């Protein structure tokens, strides 16, 4: 990865930096701090969630949130959000964050991983396709400010399958 970052699970000590990054990037959901705190809670929380952060020096430059739910006898994963600071974009940071969420969801027994992405976010769609996600559908007028459709994408995580994140190739 050209941009020298380390990826790790977030801790409560990262809350201020996570909330600041969330407020800085339009691509993040602007969750209340309490929502991130719940996501960081770790084992024993329901649903299971993870927050990975990308760190450059002592500064958090990216984050990704994953979730695993137990629904109808199956574990289902979701890539809830991914965001990278403008200065660190297009350096492979987002790909690394997503790869960590994919591996975490697989380790939690998820059979697949779903996400929603703005239809006008061509770079994000290309990133997800490069990681092996396929388009499953569309939600018309899902996003506001600005209005946009959501593309629904899924990655199969069935046991024995090759990990597309590990085979993804160079950063987008």
Helices (H), 9-111: 15-24, 33-40, 93-107
Judge whether 48 lies within some domain: yes
Judge whether 86 lies within some domain: yes
Judge whether 111 lies within some domain: yes
pLDDT at 143: 86
Which CATH number fits the domain that encloses residue 106? 3.40.630.30
Judge whether 36 lies within some domain: yes
In this prediction, residue 171 has a pLDDT band, given cuts at 50, 70 and 90, of very low
pLDDT at 42: 65
State the pTM of this model.
Answer: 0.87
Domain that holds residue 60: 6-116
pLDDT tens per residue, range 85-129: 998 998 899 999 999 999 999 999 999 999 999 999 899 999 999
Judge whether 19 lies within some domain: yes
Strand order in 74-84's β-sheet? 6-9, 48-56, 59-71, 74-84, 112-118, 148-156, 134-143
Judge whether 46 lies within some domain: yes
Asked if residue 29 has pLDDT above 70, the reply is: yes
Judge whether 148 lies within some domain: no
> What total number of domains does the chain contain?
1
């Amino acid at each position: 990865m050209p941009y020298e970052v380390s990826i790790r699970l977030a801790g409560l000590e990262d809350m201020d930096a996570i909330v600041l990054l969330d407020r800085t990037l339009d691509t993040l959901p602007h969750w209340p701090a309490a929502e991130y705190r719940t996501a960081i809670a770790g084992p024993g929380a329901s649903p299971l969630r993870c927050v990975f952060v990308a760190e450059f020096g002592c500064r958090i430059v990216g984050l990704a949130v994953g979730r695993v739910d137990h629904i109808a006898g199956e574990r289902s994963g979701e890539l809830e959000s991914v965001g990278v600071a403008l200065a660190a974009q297009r350096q492979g940071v987002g790909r690394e964050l997503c790869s960590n969420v994919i591996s975490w969801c697989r380790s939690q027994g998820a059979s697949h991983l779903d996400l929603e992405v703005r239809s006008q976010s061509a770079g994000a769609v290309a990133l997800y396709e490069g990681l092996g996600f396929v388009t499953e559908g569309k939600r018309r007028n899902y996003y506001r400010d600005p209005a946009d459709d959501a593309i629904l994408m899924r990655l199969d995580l069935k046991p024995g399958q090759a990990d597309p994140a590990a085979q993804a190739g160079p950063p987008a």
